[in-house]
Chains A and B, each alone.
Chain A
């Protein structure tokens, strides 16, 4: 299995709702990422989990709460979002974070994304 799956594909939520995005990979990758992407813009890194521990939080507002229950699963919990949070949310994974033994394992495998609309 060489893919990253994301559910749901589309999500519409109100500003008072609580919802979660789910990401799963079964490639044995030990680094997982959340990105936010606005139309016609590059992906912006939100969070990085390395070996199931949060290693990078790019100053993301607390209304976004990541969770990594195990090495295959990554969640993004959403609460009290704003309309400007509407975007494509992408999950990605790499075999290991950074480099190891002089070789770079930074190739990222991306999921298809969740298209989020906040009303």
Chain B
């Protein structure tokens, strides 16, 4: 089954509002990453949070990680129309030589101007 699962699958908000997306995973992790994908384009790395961190900020992004619940959340504050995209969490394999990450199902965010 999918390592990372995200909810909601789709989220529609007005510009200026905050958007929160959640990711759950099943196995142990060293870190968790969030990526963004504009329609039909490649993914862009947003932020990485290590397993010993609980919260991390980057600009308008805030990521939390709860390893006891095997879950993470991505908060985008003061959203803009340009934030419209799909957002994926990714969990790299704990096999340190594998170089393999598993992506969650993704949340499609629509920010209305």
Contact = CB atoms under 8 A, between A and B. Distances in A.
Q: Is the interface of A mostly helix, strand, loop or mixed?
A: strand
A16 interface: no
A110 interface: yes
Nearest to A97: B99
A111 B105 contact: no
A27 B94 CA distance: 25
A43 B100 CA distance: 12
A37 B99 CA distance: 19
Contact of A42 (B41, B95, B103): B103
Given A48-B100, A97-B99, A106 B43 contact: no
A104 B48 contact: yes
A92 B35 CA distance: 13
A4 B43 CA distance: 11
A59 interface: no
B104 A42 contact: yes
B33 A98 contact: no
A113 B42 contact: yes
B106 to A, nearest CB: 5
A75 to B, nearest CB: 17
B30 A99 contact: yes
B30 A108 contact: no
B78 interface: no
A42 B40 CA distance: 12
A48 B99 contact: yes
B1 interface: no
B33 A42 contact: no
A43 B50 CA distance: 22
A107 B99 contact: no
B58 interface: no
Interface of A: 4, 6, 31, 33, 40-43, 45, 48, 50, 55-56, 88, 90, 92, 94, 97-99, 104, 106-113, 115
Interface of B: 2, 30-31, 33, 35, 40-45, 48, 50, 88, 90, 92-93, 95-106, 108
10 contacts: A4-B42, A42-B105, A43-B103, A55-B98, A56-B99, A88-B40, A92-B43, A98-B95, A108-B43, A109-B45
